[in-house]
Amino acid sequence: MWTGFQFSRILKNSMSGFSRFTPLISALPATVPFVGPEAIERQRGLPVKARIGANESGFGPAPSVLAAIREKAGEIWKYNDPENFALKTALATHLGLAPANFVVGEGVDDLLGLIVRLIIEPGMPVVTSFGGYPTFNFHVNGFGGRLVTAPYVNDREDLDGLLAAVKRENAPLVYFANPDNPMGSWWDADSIVSFARALPETTLLILDEAYCETAPAGSAPLADALIDLPNVLRMRTFSKAYGLAGARVGYAFGTPETVLAFDKIRNHFGMPRLSTEAALAALADQAYLKDVVARIVSARERIAAIATANGLVPLASATNFVAIDCGRDGTHARAIVDGLMQHGVFIRMPGVAPLNRCIRVSTGLPADMDLFEDALPKVLKSL
C-alpha cells in the first residue's frame, strides 16, 4: 500500500512531467515484439491445441539431450563456465574453426541486442528489410538507432536494395537473414558471399542463419567462407532444428578480434548450466538432427498440400515453417489467424504489407497437422 508521502510524490512527478528514465526510454512504447500463445490463452480463454506459430520444433530435442539434462540436473547449483569453453570448443570442432571464433549467448535475440549496443549510438542508421525480424528492430529502437529499410522483392530480402541503402546512408550495421523469417525464402551461398564482400569495411553485417540446418544444400556459405572478414558476424541457434527453444542457446562466429568485443558487455554468467549441457548433447547427436530435418521437410510438404487443397498458395520454404499466400490483404490474413485460434490452432503472420497477405504455419507433429487440416477449410468457409 502506498504511504501518503509516496502517493504525493508520484502525483507531483506525474503532474510535472518528471520521468526517472532517460529521454530515449521515456519515448519508447512498452511492447513485446511477439504475442505468445500463452498470452492468447489468457486473453481469449482459448486453449492452444496445435502450437504451430512460433517456429519452435514440436519434434523436441533428441532423447540423448533429455538424458544429458537428467544426468546433469543435480549440478544446477553451479554457475555455468563464464567462458563457455566446452561449447565453444565443440562448435569449433563441428564447423572446422577455432574456439576464439565463437561467442555464446542466451539465444540469438540476446546476441543481436549486444551487437546493436556495440555498434550503434543514438541517431545512427541501421539497414534491414521492411517486414523482417521484428526483435532486431526492437533492439535498434532500444538503443536509439534509426531504422532504414529496403522492401522485399518477390518475397525475398533484396540484396541489391540492402547494399544500396548501406552505401546511401553510410550505415555502420546491416541485418540480413538467410533463410528468411517470415517468408521462408533463401539465397544461394555465392550470392551471400558476394554481398558480404561488397559491403564497406565500415559496415558490420549480421548474417542471421537461425534456419540454416533446414535449408537446401548450397544455401549457406561454408563456415570459413567469410571468416577472414572482421565486419561479418554469423548467427546460429539451438532453438530451431535442435529443438531447444526453451533453453535459449545461440552463438555467433567471426574473426577473433570482432568476437572478443562481446566480452566487454555480455552477461558472463548469463548462460544456464543445463542449457549448455543440452547444447553439447544436441551437437553430438547429428543423427537425430538429420532425422528431424527429414520430418520438417515432410511437414512442410503437408502444409503446402493443405494450403493448395484450400485454394491458397504456399511459398517455397527453406525453414521449419511455410508462408501461405492467402490472396488478399492483411485484414483477410488476420481473420484467418484469429479464426484458426478459435479452433485451438495457433499460427502467426507477417506484420507489414505486402507480406501480411500471408499466414505462417510452423511444421509440427502429424496430430498438429491434422488439426490444421481440419480447421482451415472451416475458417475459410466462415469468412
CA distances from 278 to 62, 100, 250, 281 (A): 9, 21, 12, 5
- pLDDT tier at 18, thresholds 50, 70, 90: confident
- DSSP strand pairing (250-253 vs 102-105): antiparallel
Residue 10 lies in a domain: no
Looking up cell 522485399 gives 152
- Distance separating the N- and C-terminal Cα atoms of the chain: 49
pLDDT of residue 14: 47
- pLDDT tier at 16, thresholds 50, 70, 90: low
If asked whether residues 299 and 217 sit together in one domain, one would say no
Least confidently predicted of 10-19, 138-147, 296-305 = 10-19
Residue 275 lies in a domain: yes
Calculate mean pLDDT across residues 125-142.
Answer: 97
Q: Which residues are within 8 A (CB) of 33 and not within 5 positions of it... i.e. 6 or more apart?
A: 134, 135, 137, 138
Residue 49 lies in a domain: yes
As to burial, measured by CB atoms within 10 angstroms (0-12 exposed, 13-18 middle, 19+ buried), residue 18 is exposed
Residue 269 lies in a domain: yes
If asked whether residues 49 and 141 sit together in one domain, one would say no
Residue 247 lies in a domain: yes
pLDDT of residue 6: 42
- Compute how many other C-beta atoms are within 10 angstroms of the C-beta atom of residue 290: 11
User: Has residue 10 got a pLDDT over 50?
Assistant: no
If asked whether residues 107 and 176 sit together in one domain, one would say yes
User: Has residue 132 got a pLDDT over 80?
Assistant: yes
If asked whether residues 237 and 360 sit together in one domain, one would say no
If asked whether residues 317 and 230 sit together in one domain, one would say no
Domain boundary (285, 316, 349) is at 285
Least confidently predicted of 40-44, 174-178, 344-348 = 40-44
Calculate mean pLDDT across residues 84-98.
Answer: 98
Q: Which residues sit opposite 127 in a β-bridge?
A: 148, 174
| Parent domain of 258 | 76-285
255-302 tens-digit pLDDT? 999 999 999 999 999 999 999 999 999 999 999 999 999 999 999 999
In the chain, the amino acid numbered 105 is: G
Calculate mean pLDDT across residues 169-193.
Answer: 98
User: Comparing C-alpha atoms, which of 362, 212, 282 is closest to residue 61?
Assistant: 282
> Taking phi first (over 0 means left), then psi (-120 to 50 degrees means alpha), and beta for anything else, what does residue 45 get?
left
If asked whether residues 220 and 111 sit together in one domain, one would say yes
Q: Which residues sit opposite 359 in a β-bridge?
A: 324
User: Has residue 12 got a pLDDT over 80?
Assistant: no
98-127 tens-digit pLDDT? 999 999 999 999 999 999 999 999 999 999
pLDDT of residue 34: 85
Residue 18 lies in a domain: no
If asked whether residues 196 and 209 sit together in one domain, one would say yes
User: Has residue 161 got a pLDDT over 90?
Assistant: yes
pLDDT of residue 4: 44
Calculate mean pLDDT across residues 125-133.
Answer: 97
Domain boundary (260, 285, 310) is at 285
H or E element that contains 177: strand 173-177
Average pLDDT, the chain: 95
329-376 tens-digit pLDDT? 999 999 999 999 999 999 999 999 999 999 999 999 999 999 999 999
Looking up residue 306, the CATH number of its domain turns out to be: 3.90.1150.10
What whole-number distance in Å separates Cα of residue 174 and Cα of residue 128? 6
Contact indicator for 282, 151 with CB cutoff of 8 Å: no
pLDDT of residue 2: 37
What whole-number distance in Å separates Cα of residue 218 and Cα of residue 336? 35
If asked whether residues 257 and 194 sit together in one domain, one would say yes
If asked whether residues 223 and 333 sit together in one domain, one would say no
**Total number of domains in the chain:** 2
Contact indicator for 192, 329 with CB cutoff of 8 Å: no
If asked whether residues 54 and 106 sit together in one domain, one would say no
If asked whether residues 148 and 240 sit together in one domain, one would say yes
Residue 4 lies in a domain: no
Domain boundary (231, 254, 285) is at 285
Residue 199 lies in a domain: yes
What whole-number distance in Å separates Cα of residue 114 and Cα of residue 135? 13
pLDDT of residue 31: 84
CA distances from 331 to 295, 311, 334 (A): 32, 18, 5
User: Has residue 15 got a pLDDT over 80?
Assistant: no
If asked whether residues 100 and 198 sit together in one domain, one would say yes
User: Cα angle vertex 212, ends 118, 215, to 5°?
Assistant: 150
% of the chain with per-residue pLDDT over 90: 92
Calculate mean pLDDT across residues 300-307.
Answer: 98
Looking up residue 165, the CATH number of its domain turns out to be: 3.40.640.10
pLDDT of residue 168: 98
What whole-number distance in Å separates Cα of residue 207 and Cα of residue 72? 33
User: Comparing C-alpha atoms, which of 257, 202, 250, 200 is closest to residue 227?
Assistant: 257
User: Has residue 13 got a pLDDT over 80?
Assistant: no
pLDDT of residue 164: 98
User: Comparing C-alpha atoms, which of 295, 293, 308 is closest to residue 368?
Assistant: 295
Calculate mean pLDDT across residues 203-218.
Answer: 97
Q: Where does 187-231 have alpha helices with state H?
A: 189-198
Burial 310-332 (b: 16+ CB within 10 A, else e): eebebbebbbbbbbbbbeeebee
